[in-house]
Chain A
């Protein structure tokens, strides 16, 4: 389905249907955590979530119409932001806690056992409180998450793409998701002026998510280099995509 033929309402409905399932860690190590056991839990969970994230992206109307090269680049760029915004949404009703999964709920202070992670936990908690303050609605969250994916390219995608139509399609898709978010906010019944404020407030939060993701990527890379945690499978590929691009 080409996104331009979908109404904002239909677009949001497909986003609801595209939502990935909540992932469980399953074999959670006994508390207290060590640096290695916490990093192992977090990376195991991330690897599981990544598989569902790809399924989610494919269900966003128009995403699979982009060329494969663009699909790969977008997902490689934004995966940690998507994981983080999902974490924020799950944690929104639980001040001071990070709900990585129903069986992996961490208090802020538990971040002390992994070198350098407390700073990232605090960023995540701060962004989550801001979303709580704004009373982020589920449909708004779904639009923001799709927006992160579609807006994640830092370079002109066509540079290496074999399909020049793909970047035109991507721009259409970004307009469609913007329309969807504007529609969701308008439906809330806020006065017009407050609607623009809300839109701006929500979009401004995305730069905080990007910042936390950059810090998180740096941290995961250093944990891997110091051999604190082995990184494998899909997570390794996704981490390498960032490492290679930075050099």
Chain B
């Protein structure tokens, strides 16, 4: 689940 991990990993909202 690439996009989910990517969104979880980004700190800036």
The answer to whether A68 touches B1 (Cβ under 8 A) is no
Chain A interfacial residues counted at CB < 8 A? 15
The answer to whether A234 touches B3 (Cβ under 8 A) is yes
Across chains A and B, the number of contacting residue pairs, with CB separation under 8 Å, is: 32
- The range of chain B's interface size is under 10
- Assembled-state Cα–Cα distance A75/B9 (Å): 14
The answer to whether B3 touches A55 (Cβ under 8 A) is no
The answer to whether B13 touches A234 (Cβ under 8 A) is no
Q: Is the interface of B mostly helix, strand, loop or mixed?
A: helix
Q: Is the interface of A mostly helix, strand, loop or mixed?
A: helix
The answer to whether A54 touches B1 (Cβ under 8 A) is no
List, in ascending order, chain A residues with CB within 8 A of B13's CB: 55, 58
- Assembled-state Cα–Cα distance A75/B3 (Å): 12
Interface centre among B2, B4, B9 (most CB of A within 10 A): B4
List, in ascending order, chain A residues with CB within 8 A of B1's CB: 72, 76, 237-238, 240-241
Contact residues of B with A, CB < 8 Å?
1-5, 7-9, 13
4 smallest beta-carbon distances between A and B, as pairs: A54-B7, A237-B1, A234-B3, A55-B13
